[in-house]
């Protein structure tokens, strides 16, 4: 079900890049963000959060067609203030798949068997929209705080992508080594069979002079049909 994943770095894009923005002091605040499939295959995704009891995420999982986008809406549960979610984060997990029409049951099975190196992860931090001017003037946080936080989020996402690429490189190296061992083993087996056939033919030549060609041919055909074919051609 999983499509080739050699380019996981270019799997999806998320906008806003590293933030889920809630309005200050708004009851039942909602924060939408968009996931775009930038891969050559359909992409399955799911969304995790550090505090699932605080949020309603719709949709929380699904499949995005090639070149398409989907808007995810994060809503605060009743009684949860936006100021109480600043320490929470969201994780968008994605993996390429071969087809778009995948039911929920198949998606659940998919996420249980997809290896870590085929998962793309993008982290989002909960933030608040800019406060009104009087409140902002009294705030102790410097104006450069938000850009620095945004840069830190982008750096964290880039590090995740580098780690994902590194896992892919290591997996490819392991597969290449396994293929090399398999090819070497097959060559050894073929060489051993060739030597065994040659030995049988030499024994047959020696036995012909003592027991006759017909008896020897019957024995060879019973032991090794390939040698028997070669023997009949030589005769």
pLDDT tens digit sequence for 63-118 = 999 999 999 999 999 889 888 898 999 999 999 999 999 999 999 999 999 988 88
Q: How many Cα atoms within 13 Å fall on the side-chain side of residue 66? A: 7
Number of folded domains that form the chain: 2
- Asked whether residue 200 is domain-assigned, the answer is yes
C-beta separation of 91 from 45 below 8 A = no
- Asked whether residue 169 is domain-assigned, the answer is no
- Which two three-digit tokens encode residue 206? 């020696």
- Asked whether residue 153 is domain-assigned, the answer is no
pLDDT value of position 44: 97
C-beta separation of 72 from 35 below 8 A = yes
C-beta separation of 12 from 37 below 8 A = yes
- Which of 74, 107, 140 represents a domain boundary (last residue)? 140
- Asked whether residue 29 is domain-assigned, the answer is yes
**Residues 108, 65, 158, 82, CA torsion sign:** negative
- Which of 78, 113, 140 represents a domain boundary (last residue)? 140
60-64, 171-175, 180-184: segment of lowest average pLDDT: 171-175
Residue 61 makes CB contacts below 8 A (sequence gap 6+) with 44, 45, 46, 47, 104, 107
C-beta separation of 42 from 65 below 8 A = yes
Tell me the percentage of the chain whose pLDDT exceeds 90. 40
Question: Dihedral (C-alpha) 80, 69, 48, 5: value to the nearest 10 degrees?
Answer: -170
The model's pTM is: 0.57
Q: Which domain holds residue 208?
A: 189-234
Residue 130, pLDDT > 50, answer yes
The residue-averaged pLDDT of 197-206 equals 75
pLDDT value of position 203: 73
């Amino acid at each position: 079900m999983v499509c080739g994943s050699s380019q996981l770095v270019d799997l999806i894009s998320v906008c806003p890049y590293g933030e889920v923005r809630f309005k200050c002091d708004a009851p039942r605040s909602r924060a939408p963000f968009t996931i775009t499939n930038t891969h050559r295959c359909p992409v399955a995704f799911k969304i995790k959060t550090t505090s699932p009891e605080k949020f309603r995420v719709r949709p929380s999982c699904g499949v995005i067609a090639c070149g398409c986008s989907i808007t995810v809406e994060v809503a605060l549960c009743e009684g949860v203030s936006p100021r109480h979610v600043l320490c929470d984060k969201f994780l968008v997990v994605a993996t390429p798949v071969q087809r778009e029409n995948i039911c929920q049951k198949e998606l659940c099975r998919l996420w249980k068997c997809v290896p870590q190196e085929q998962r793309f992860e993008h982290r989002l931090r909960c933030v608040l929209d800019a406060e009104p001017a009087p409140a902002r003037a009294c705030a102790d946080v410097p104006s450069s705080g938000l850009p620095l936080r945004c840069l830190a989020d982008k750096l964290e996402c880039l590090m995740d992508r580098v780690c994902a690429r590194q896992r892919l490189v290591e997996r490819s190296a392991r597969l290449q080594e396994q293929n090399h061992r398999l090819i070497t083993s097959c060559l050894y087996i073929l060489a051993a069979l060739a030597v065994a056939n040659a030995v049988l033919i030499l024994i047959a030549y020696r036995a012909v002079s003592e027991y006759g060609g017909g008896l020897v041919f019957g024995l060879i055909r019973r032991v090794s049909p390939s040698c028997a074919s070669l023997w009949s051609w030589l005769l």
